[in-house]
Amino acid sequence: MARIPGPPPLDGLKRRIEESRRARPARRSGQFIRETFLLERDAARQKAREWFDTWPKAAYWTEVESWRPLEGDRIEFTMRRLPSAD
């Protein structure tokens, strides 16, 4: 009579998942840092310039990710940049 094998051992899979989870914080350095602001138009321009001066676009890929005008001449916008200039 043929024997039906049980489920495969999961030790190797569990070990690979754990290794991946431990390595994840090191990979986070490649993710963008985002910050959202809600400011008057002139203050919004000043804040964006501040970001570009502090984290130059060429080194940090700094950009205005999204923006939208709101009532009262206010702007809601999200800036993003890389965490380091590697």
1 — pLDDT class (breaks 50, 70, 90): low
Q: What pTM, to 2 d.p., does this model score?
A: 0.63
> Sign of the C-alpha dihedral, residues 20, 22, 26, 28?
positive
In a domain, 25, yes or no: no
Q: How many CB atoms lie within 10 A of CB 84?
A: 11
Q: Give me the pLDDT at residue 86, please.
A: 67
How is residue 56 written in tokens?
Answer: 């130059």
pLDDT in tens, 8-59: 777 777 777 777 767 665 444 458 999 999 999 999 999 999 999 999 999 9
Residue 26: per-residue pLDDT: 46
- Here the CATH number for the domain that contains residue 73 is 3.30.30
Asked whether residue 9 is assigned to any structural domain, the reply reads no
pLDDT value of position 29: 44
Give the number of domains in the chain.
1
CA distance 72 to 42: 12
Is residue 27 domain-resident?
no
Residue 22 covered by a domain = no
Residue ranges making up the domain that contains 49? 32-86
Other CB atoms within a 10 A radius of the CB of residue 77 amount to 19
